[in-house]
Amino acid sequence: MVGGSERHELIEDERRRVSEHLQMGTEMMVYQQRAERLTVQVIMESMQVALIRSDDSRIVRLLDIFEFKEVRQWETCKDFQRFNESRGKLQDSKTCFTIFYGSEFILKSLSLKADSVEDAEKWLTGLELLRQETLAAHTPEIIESWLRKQMYSVDQSKKNRFSFSLSPFSQPVSLFNTDSPESSVVPLYDFQNFLLYRQKEAKNLNQIQELMTIFIDDTMRKTNYPVLTVGEFLSFLFSKENSIWNEKFSEICPLDMNNPLSHYWINSSHNTYLTGDQLRSDSSTEAYVRCLRLGCRCIELDCWNGPEEPVIYHGRTMTSKIKFKDVVKAINDHAFATSEYPVVLSIEEHCDIKQQKMMAQMLRDAFQDKLLTEPLEPEADDLPSPNQLKGKIIIKVGKKVKFRFYRHDCVISDNKLYYSEEKLEEDYPELHLSEPWFHGELAEGRITAEKLLHDFCKGRDGKDGTFLVRESKAFIRNYSISLWTSGRIQHYKIFCSSENGQWSFYLTIKQRFPSMCALIKYYTQNLITYDRLNLRLNGFLPRLNFVPSHQIGWFYSNLSQAEAEDYLLRIPRDGAFLIRQREEPNHFTLSIRVEGDVEHYLIYQNNSKYVLADAYEFGNLEDLVSCFRDKVFYGKTKLRYPVTPQLVDRFCMVREVAKDNPLGDQCKGVVDISKCTVGEIVLPLTFHFIYYSILHFYDLSENYNYKEVRSIPDNMVPKEGNESTVEKSDSILEYNRKALTRVYPCSGRVDSSNFDPCPSWRLGCQMVALNFQTADKFMQLNSALFSLNGGTGYVLKPEWMRDPTKKKPAKQTIRIRVMAARHLPSPDHIVSPFVQVELWPYTGVKNVGFFAEDNGLNPVWLGQMNPPKCFKVDEPDLAFLRFVVFEEDTFSDAKLLAQATFPIRGIRQGYRSVPLKNRFSENLELSSLLVHVQQVEVRDLFYIYINVKRANKKSFESFLFETYSQTVYSD
């Protein structure tokens, strides 16, 4: 049996062989603009992958392993797909792999094909090992690699001048008592004291020796009593090993993963499929992969009917479409690559029943036992914990389910409910669905309505009263009418309610109508006197795709007379009608139910007119139907009930009913009540409603259970201010202790901008969904929060949020001084960096900054002109410190060069390095600030201040400044 040490040696030996193989280089097919054969080789000194032409050994391209995010064996990459289309199918997909790299949300890719599976496996294994080594490399190793890169770059260009300086100080800061700082050294015990008293770090001598050895250049000085030169000490100060961030907060704490899901903030994405804005950008399965690998645990799928199968895109926009099954496959492949904890799929459902069934089957087939299909503990009082749901995928379906209820005569006998045919209302309330002025649910609601009306009316000198009616996005069976008046657009709510089975529509409660059509007709003839409005409806904006008669529910292009009569006789109301195409060209038949029988009337087309019964002429079939909806067609009968295929389906169901039932011949069906659950409605995706039932968060009642998810736009989250807001905030916080809330960007954010997530987090809202593709400060705050707990996507909320009996932690004051910077990213010119320090959530303290003119290489901020800056932290559990480096420009807005954002709870004190990131929160190689940090609880600071005031009677501000000055300049 092979022992542990031998096994380790075998592993190391294999790693060495793989590394040597990569350094020797391998000829492969490389897919870029075109497919070509190149030598692919790893350059270990600079940690780069080089693409080299075999004939002249010229380097075509260099890739930094530092930027590698994933190496994937994947034959369906877009580069391979493009090659397949032009050259035929690849012989062996196992020889193909793709490198994904970059420092933005959308990654670049390089696709490669090795000559053998063995070669491909070595490169897959080797590149992943090198990627991990690069992430774990110590700062001196990174510096050496970076210097090599600069040298190789100069050697290739033959013309670039190369100069650098890693020390930001012309003279080092005197942190120790020395007469000659330039020649001084830092012995072991001085370094120990520095860590203990300045950095507040208690380490034993072995740990300190190990740390110092990392930064010593000379091997001869790596002894039991190491000594750092000033240059090595400065290298340590700016290093990631001396980071302001305490890495213990980035570790997973398994014991913290046993609380109910409602006790966590959950990393959540909005419009996960998009790569840009909500109007024209591309949808991509890679956006899902990127979000999942960034630790996102709640992703969104907007599902719509496709030609043959469901698709995902931002509905009713120009965003591109991707197949639902491709997205599900990508999710299955990458859901647990970064985190083993549960993934929630937030599905916005817009598909018909047929494609919903397809979706359900695709989910089952792809996820199999990963899919949560039944509660873990049906009788539990709380949601399960992340530990209980490891490796599980939960479906949350978000759709306003608009069930329509109809009246029946019913009798209950012997646990059975017998019912008659449905009884249609005399005034059918949904006639408006086929009206040209009714636009249904518009994407982006009033914003889209305003754009449509503005474009329609402005170019035509639009008349006051031009209107459209749309469905409310917020409320079921509620509508809005948008009006053009005096060059402006006004929106008014049309209310809809039902009492005793009778529907009513109204603008004001004093004037009610049995249908929407009746309301619109009334206000075309009478003034609307409401909310200072005084006009009639005067023309409408027709909805798109309204004109073609073959798309209208009551028109049938292939229906016989016998079938038409069968359809109409099943509808138990006079006035049911349809129009069907006849075999003769330009001939149609109007079939209508009158006095229990069916009558047929000929319609033929004469030039551009439609002639009915040789008595009436109309411009089109829609005008014909519209006319006889308003006026009597035959006797007392109007065209009242369009016989659509959906209506026919409802009435064509065959039901086996015993003849001796209580309703006799009127009985059309029977339900066994003993097998029913009251109030349960089953949909094709219902088996996924395990823990999540979607409710809109417009009213918080006391009656709720842990299975609910409240879903609200960000503009409805209560903001701080008045007493009612405080009261509402308390009730929301209480709700979120038990159940879940998802907050998403409001409809006006068509540019995919994000909102400040802090107010939602403060209320305990778990799933605060942001646009991951948008690199703004709010996404940076999100990245900072979810860097906690190992990037698992689940962060346990503070104890006071989970338990109302617990108190908030003491307030703090944090003092920051930015001292210097190193290796700032810069364009091809000299920059004047400006460093801004911010505290989030914003507490009224003005952001403070430090400016260095024409020095982007190694700026220094020292002296009395740059005193420390103080921030009061009211809620340390939910506060963030943000450093932003701008390029100051006199003639334009400041340009962001770098940023770093940290939760206050993980900030370390002392002289610390701030590793900088780009706007996408990706690490910038070697780029860092040097700052001094001091944190003091407010109560401790108060007692110190009282003592100083008694002794010296100095001001509080003077006390703060002088105390900090002594810390920096003394000793």
Angstrom distances, CA of residue 329 to CA of 344, 352, 500, 532, 890: 15, 22, 49, 55, 50
Cα–Cα nearest to 399, from 446, 458, 350, 362: 350
- Strand segments (E) across 823-962: 833-840, 848-851, 869-873, 880-887, 895-903, 910-917, 923-937
Q: Which residues contact 782 (CB under 8 A, 6 or more apart)?
A: 267, 757, 768, 770
- Is residue 753 classed exposed, middle or buried when 0-12, 13-18 and 19+ CB atoms within 10 A define those classes? middle
Q: Which residues contact 269 (CB under 8 A, 6 or more apart)?
A: 291, 296, 298, 299, 300, 769, 770, 771, 772
Q: Which of 270, 334, 439, 932 is catalytic?
A: 270
Give SS3 for 94: helix
**What is the CB-side half-sphere exposure of residue 165 using CA atoms within 13 A?**
10
How far is it, in rounded angstroms, from Cα 2 to Cα 549?
Answer: 79
Cα–Cα nearest to 297, from 250, 331, 256, 321: 331
Q: Cβ(878)–Cβ(841) under 8 Å?
A: yes
User: Which letter does DSSP use for residue 74 in this model?
Assistant: -
Cα–Cα nearest to 75, from 87, 90, 58: 90
DSSP secondary structure letters along 189-207: HHHHHIIIIIS-----HHH
| Torsion-angle region of 414 (φ positive above 0: left; ψ -120 to 50: alpha; else: beta) | left
Q: Which residues contact 410 (CB under 8 A, 6 or more apart)?
A: 417, 418, 419, 420
Cα–Cα nearest to 65, from 122, 145, 140, 144: 145
Residue 314 is a catalytic residue: yes
Give SS3 for 343: strand
How far is it, in rounded angstroms, from Cα 826 to Cα 852?
Answer: 14
DSSP secondary structure letters along 534-593: EE----B-PPTT---GGGSTTEESS--HHHHHHHHHTS-STTEEEEEE-SSTTEEEEEEE
User: Tokens representing 414?
Assistant: 């012997």
How far is it, in rounded angstroms, from Cα 687 to Cα 530?
Answer: 46
Give backbone dihedrals phi and psi of 123, rounded to 5 degrees, phi first: -70, -40
Q: Cβ(918)–Cβ(776) under 8 Å?
A: no
Q: Which residues contact 657 (CB under 8 A, 6 or more apart)?
A: 418, 667, 668, 669, 670
Q: Which of 21, 138, 314, 550 is catalytic?
A: 314
Polymer length of the chain: 971
Angstrom distances, CA of residue 630 to CA of 503, 600, 731, 968: 19, 20, 50, 87
Q: Which residues contact 361 (CB under 8 A, 6 or more apart)?
A: none
How far is it, in rounded angstroms, from Cα 191 to Cα 819?
Answer: 20
Q: Is the peptide bond before 168 cis (omega within 30 degrees of 0)?
A: no
Residue 932 is a catalytic residue: no
Amino acid at 831: V
Cα–Cα nearest to 114, from 101, 103, 127, 102: 127
How far is it, in rounded angstroms, from Cα 320 to Cα 651?
Answer: 39
Which residues are registered as beta bridge partners of 502?
Answer: 499
Q: Cβ(392)–Cβ(342) under 8 Å?
A: yes
How far is it, in rounded angstroms, from Cα 495 to Cα 503?
Answer: 10
**Residues with active-site annotation:** 270, 314
